[in-house]
């Protein structure tokens, strides 16, 4: 049954608003539902693109203009949803990178993309905000004839870094670890307030990943060992670890890292000089920065990117299945991206067998506990009343710490609320 949502008020413009359900149903919209706007721009929900802990993103169609599709981000607040309709974009850079067999872009594509992403970050900074979550999945390409344009997404962790007078807000004594473990800055790891330089540090890690492939610390579970990732990031700044980290990387990126590390909290980064170093690298490699991007040269790449798991595990269809009708993987809860090595059939068989053994062991233990409990009750005299202590059932509940741990296992590693 189709549900209809009506806008409560138009506080900003014709693409912003709030909607309330005609029923008391507090759930988020479903495919087929309609959102009615007071400006007579009615949108039909086609499918869900992303489901996060605080919001969801849907592909919607303007009913008055069949075929005109947009992205609608919905923020859930009890039974009222705030929503924003915006331009629909394509695959993110993280999926596109993993869709390539080499798990990296060609140098021409990487450098061209890095200039665009740097410009997006600069624009955000000029608007008075820092992202605090710069990473490949938060940049996406346009659709159709806009495939060469890179868009910046997801400002869930963004924070205003200047006051009403345009002055940089002083750093707080301590701050939550904000961002994504693979990409977050040294300051974030050490619970310091972030500034513009920290966005650029995260951008640098993304740059190395796009050029060379998975980062050295990609397999470390930051939820358990984020300090180990911090150690890696400290080591790559000197000696042999530094040489190894920048191996096969244009030397200009070492200069960029030194430049970023030299900035202080209040400093405004020199974006132009960083762009100049990228262009210099392009010249050294004989790149004009006008070459078609990888996904423009290979139209199959965006299709393959649809089958890449969000956790970093490649579920990409092989070339043999290329012409078959495949269904994209369901969107999983966004968690820390961990690059996983592809397993051989033998290794996969061993893994499945081990998993089956663990499952059987759990079932066996549950049966044993059930039998022991059943034997205890059977041994009780029928006429014996149970004491209040015996009759009181104690439901199994997670401890507060365990519940909190579950709440922070997300792609955006917010370890503490602001």
pLDDT for position 38: 64
| Tokens linked to 135 | 């990473």
Residue 162 pLDDT exceeds 90? yes
Cβ 185 vs Cβ 179: under 8 Å: yes
How is residue 133 written in tokens? 């979550």
d(CA 33, CA 44): 6
Highest mean pLDDT among 45-54, 83-92, 123-132, 220-229: 123-132
Q: Is the dihedral of CA 362, 368, 371, 372 positive or negative?
A: negative
Contact indicator for 94, 337 with CB cutoff of 8 Å: yes
Which of 57-71, 327-341, 377-391 holds the top average pLDDT?
Answer: 57-71
Greater confidence (2 vs 1) lies with 2
Residue 255 has phi, psi (to 5 degrees) of -65, -40
Given a contact cutoff of 8 angstroms between Cβ atoms, the answer to whether 50 and 30 are in contact is: no
Cβ–Cβ < 8 Å for 87, 143: no
pLDDT of residue 122: 98
Res 58 pLDDT > 80: yes
Write down the pLDDT at residue 27: 63
133 is annotated as an active-site residue? yes
Name the average pLDDT for the chain: 76
**DSSP structural state of residue 142:** -
> How far is it, in rounded angstroms, from Cα 396 to Cα 417?
27
Q: Which residue would you say has higher pLDDT here, 395 or 92?
A: 92
Residue 75 has pLDDT above 60, yes or no: yes
Residues of the chain with pLDDT > 70: what percent?
A: 67
| Mean pLDDT in residue range 95-104 | 94
Low-confidence winner among 187-196, 197-206, 224-233, 299-308 (lowest mean pLDDT)? 299-308
* Residue closest to 35 by CA, chosen among 87, 78, 70, 67: 70
Q: Which residue has the tokens 């344009």?
A: 149
Catalytic-labelled residue, pool 33, 92, 133, 154: 133
Indicate the angle between helix axes 271-284 and 107-126, nearest 10 degrees: 170
Mean pLDDT computed over 161-180: 93
At 295, give phi and psi (nearest 5°).
Answer: -80, -15
Above 80 in pLDDT, residue 346?
A: no
List Cβ neighbours of 233 (8 Å cut-off, separation of 6 or more): 186, 189, 205, 217
What's the confidence (pLDDT) of residue 402?
36
Over 80: is that where the pLDDT of 397 sits?
A: no
Domain ranges for the chain = 4-87, 93-321
Q: Identify which has the larger pLDDT, 54 or 162.
A: 162
Candidates 1.10.510.10, 3.40.50.11290, 1.25.40.10, 3.30.565.10; CATH matching 93-321? 1.10.510.10
Q: CA–CA separation, 370 vs 308, rounded Å?
A: 42
């Amino acid at each position: 049954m189709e549900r209809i949502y009506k806008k409560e008020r138009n506080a900003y413009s014709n693409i912003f608003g709030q909607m309330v359900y005609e029923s008391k149903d507090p759930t988020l919209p479903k495919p087929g539902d309609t959102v009615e706007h007071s400006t007579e721009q009615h949108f039909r929900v086609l499918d869900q693109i992303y489901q996060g802990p605080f919001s969801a993103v849907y592909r919607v169609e303007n009913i008055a203009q069949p075929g005109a599709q947009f992205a609608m981000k919905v923020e859930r607040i009890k039974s009222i949803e705030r929503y924003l309709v915006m331009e629909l974009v394509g695959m993110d850079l993280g999926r596109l990178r993993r869709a390539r067999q080499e798990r990296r872009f060609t140098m021409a594509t990487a450098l061209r993309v890095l200039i665009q992403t740097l410009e997006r970050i600069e624009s955000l900074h000029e608007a008075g905000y820092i992202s605090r979550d710069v990473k490949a999945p938060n940049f996406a390409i346009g659709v159709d004839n806009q495939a060469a344009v890179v868009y910046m997404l997801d400002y869930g962790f963004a924070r205003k870094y200047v006051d009403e007078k345009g002055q940089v807000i002083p750093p707080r004594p301590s701050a939550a670890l904000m961002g994504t473990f693979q990409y977050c800055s040294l300051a974030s790891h050490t619970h310091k307030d972030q500034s513009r330089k920290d966005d650029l540090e995260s951008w640098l890690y993304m740059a190395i990943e796009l050029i060379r492939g998975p980062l050295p610390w990609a397999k470390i579970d930051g939820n358990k060992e984020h300090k180990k990732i911090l150690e890696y990031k400290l080591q790559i700044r000197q000696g042999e670890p530094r040489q190894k980290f920048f191996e096969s990387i244009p030397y200009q990126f070492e200069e960029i890292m030194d430049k970023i590390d030299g900035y202080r909290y209040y400093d405004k980064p020199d974006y132009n000089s960083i762009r100049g170093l990228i262009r210099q690298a392009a010249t050294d490699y004989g790149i004009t920065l006008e070459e078609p991007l990888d996904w423009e040269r290979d139209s199959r790449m965006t299709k393959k990117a649809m089958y890449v798991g969000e956790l970093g595990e490649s579920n990409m269809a092989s070339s043999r299945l290329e012409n078959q009708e495949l269904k994209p993987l369901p969107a999983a809860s966004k968690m820390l991206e961990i690059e996983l090595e592809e397993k051989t059939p033998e290794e996969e068989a061993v893994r499945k067998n081990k998993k089956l053994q663990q499952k059987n062991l759990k079932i066996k233990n549950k049966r044993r506990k059930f039998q022991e409990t059943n034997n205890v009750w059977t041994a009780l005299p029928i006429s014996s009343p149970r004491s209040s202590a015996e009759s009181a059932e104690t439901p199994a509940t997670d401890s507060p710490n365990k519940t909190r741990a579950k709440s922070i296992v997300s792609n955006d590693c917010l370890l503490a609320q602001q």
